[in-house]
Amino acid sequence: MTPTPPAASASTSTPQGLVQEIEDFRSLCASRYRFNSRMDNVLNLLGIAVSLLVVAAGVYEWNKLAAILGGLITAVVSAQRAFSFGQRWQFYRLLDSQAENLYTEAKAGVVTVQQIIDTMKAMRLDFAQQIPRGSSFRSDSDANDGKGASGNNPPSAGGATGSSR
């Protein structure tokens, strides 16, 4: 993406309240990014640790413990699918990066106040509507066969925020 040179109507002085809104949005996205990243790591590490314990229980022929640990693995995998922390941390990281870029452009005065407002509106809309949801327990082929697509999904922010400047 090539930066757009300052337009003749671009404000060299962005209102401080608007800059503060961008900073607050960045902070919110960053905190949610960190939370979801940590939770994704915890579930991954827990899955690995329990898997190793299942192997150890099998080696020592602790059948009852192996069965209990197998159930725990199922719960961990189910939690990973239901809460999709991995997708969420990527989503919030992307929004944080977009907000950081907007912050830089606003501080440099290369975008108009109206462009800042439009971009913030698009990012907030994505924040509210485009958050990745946990997957259902149906097969992946059912999820991708197009039967659930109704055409009512709003466009992603990538096109709305990246090309409007």
Residue 4: predicted pLDDT: 56
Q: 3: which residues sit within 8 A by CB, 6+ positions away? A: 105, 110
Structure tokens at 92: 């919030």
Cα angle 96-22-105, degrees, rounded to a multiple of 5: 85
Q: 5: which residues sit within 8 A by CB, 6+ positions away? A: 110
How many CB atoms are closer than 10 A to CB 33?
A: 20
Q: Is this model's pTM higher than 0.75 or not? A: no
Mean pLDDT of the region 76-103? 94
How far is the C-alpha of 164 from the C-alpha of 121, rounded, in Å? 12
How far is the C-alpha of 127 from the C-alpha of 131, rounded, in Å? 6
- pLDDT, tens only, 112-141: 999 999 999 999 999 988 777 766 554 444
Residue 1: predicted pLDDT: 56
- pLDDT, tens only, 3-18: 555 444 444 578 999 9
3-class secondary-structure state, position 66? helix
Domain that holds residue 122: 16-133
74 found inside a domain: yes
47 found inside a domain: yes
20 found inside a domain: yes
- pLDDT, tens only, 13-71: 789 999 999 999 999 999 999 999 999 999 999 999 999 999 999 999 999 999 999 99
Asked if 124 and 25 count as a contact pair (C-beta separation under 8 A), the reply is yes
Structure tokens at 114: 């109206």
75 found inside a domain: yes
How far is the C-alpha of 66 from the C-alpha of 50, rounded, in Å? 10
87 found inside a domain: yes
55 found inside a domain: yes
Asked if 106 and 6 count as a contact pair (C-beta separation under 8 A), the reply is no
153 found inside a domain: no
> In this model, does residue 162 exceed pLDDT 60?
no
139 found inside a domain: no
